[in-house]
């Protein structure tokens, strides 16, 4: 099945950079004021979701789910759940990290929710690619830096090879950011393994040009 891409309302400074993550067959769900990114991203919505408290409902022919203003789910969370209901196995969230720290952190929690459900998921912003690692991951030198953070409980049996700072059967706790700003060694690919627990992997991508 195609990937589900969910576009939130956080600012996108470099639409060209974000477009590089998109695929032609992505199923595009635009959330409320995420619709303002449609033209810059050069993509039309397959589905619109929102309570339209920050953007006017376009009343277009595109299928639209209108949500109540008072609800448990954010528009983005509802869109993620809708994508899961439709059977998608892979998700990409964009316009999900921005000035509203509470919404940004909530969207990172959605990555954990998707990982719990056995789905592949990531958040892409103007600077980084963010995902949850619960088994293994690879980081190429397209990343200028990468950080491996325990933000929920403790992760154990962590190994990192092919990086400036390596680990072997280590533990990371959520009370100290030990894994910030590692680097892939030139010409190598960093290999990350996690035996138990979950870590947040943040690839800080190299600036274009």
Beta bridge partners of 129: 124, 203
> 119: how many CB neighbours lie within 10 A of its CB?
17
Query: Using one digit for the tens of pLDDT, what is the confidence trace for 85-97?
Result: 999 999 999 999 9
145-201 pLDDT, tens digit each: 999 999 888 999 999 999 999 999 999 999 998 899 999 999 999 999 999 999 999
Q: Are strands 190-193 and 27-31 parallel, antiparallel or unpaired?
A: unpaired
Choose among 146, 149, 29: nearest CA to 95: 29
Place of tokens 């639209």: 64
**What are 121-151's pLDDT values in tens digits?**
999 999 999 999 999 999 999 899 999 999 8
> Which residues make beta-bridge pairs with 190?
139
Label the pairing between strands 120-124 and 4-7.
Answer: unpaired
Per DSSP (E only), the strands in the chain are: 4-7, 27-31, 47-50, 64-66, 90-94, 120-124, 128-133, 136-139, 143-149, 154-161, 167-173, 190-193, 199-205
- Angle at CA of residue 207, ends 189 and 41, nearest 5°: 105
Q: What is the DSSP letter of 75?
A: H
In whole angstroms, what is the distance from residue 186 CA to residue 184 CA? 6
List pLDDT tens digits, range 43-81. Answer: 999 999 998 887 788 889 999 999 988 888 999 999 999
What domains are there in the chain, each with its CATH number? 4-126 (3.40.50.10240), 133-205 (2.60.120.320)
Distances (CA, A) of 58 to 1, 26, 63, 91, 102: 28, 22, 11, 25, 27
**DSSP per-residue letters across 13-30:** S-HHHHHTT--TTPEEEE
> Strand 190-193 and strand 136-139: pairing?
antiparallel
Using the predicted structure, report yes or no on whether residue 209 has a pLDDT greater than 60. no
Strands of 143-149's sheet in order across: 64-66, 47-50, 27-31, 4-7, 90-94, 120-124, 128-133, 199-205, 143-149
């Amino acid at each position: 099945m195609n990937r589900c891409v969910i576009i939130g309302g956080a600012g996108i400074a470099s639409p060209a950079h974000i477009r590089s993550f998109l695929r032609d067959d992505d199923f595009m769900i635009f959330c409320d004021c995420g619709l303002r990114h449609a033209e810059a991203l050069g993509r039309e919505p397959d589905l619109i979701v929102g309570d339209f408290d920050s953007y006017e409902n376009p009343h277009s022919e595109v299928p639209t789910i209108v949500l109540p203003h008072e609800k448990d789910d954010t528009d983005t969370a509802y869109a993620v759940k809708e994508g899961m209901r439709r059977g998608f196995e892979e998700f990409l969230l964009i316009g999900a990290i921005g000035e509203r720290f509470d919404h940004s952190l909530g969207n990172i929690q959605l990555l954990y929710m998707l990982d719990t459900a056995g789905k592949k998921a990531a958040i892409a912003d103007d600077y980084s690619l963010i995902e949850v690692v619960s088994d293994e991951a690879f980081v190429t030198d397209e990343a200028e830096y990468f950080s491996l953070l325990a933000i929920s409980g403790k992760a154990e049996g962590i190994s990192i090879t092919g990086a400036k700072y390596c680990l072997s059967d280590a533990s990371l706790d959520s009370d100290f950011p030990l894994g910030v700003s590692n680097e892939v060694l030139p010409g190598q690919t960093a290999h990350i393994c996690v035996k138990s627990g979950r870590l947040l992997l943040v690839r800080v991508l190299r600036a274009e040009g």
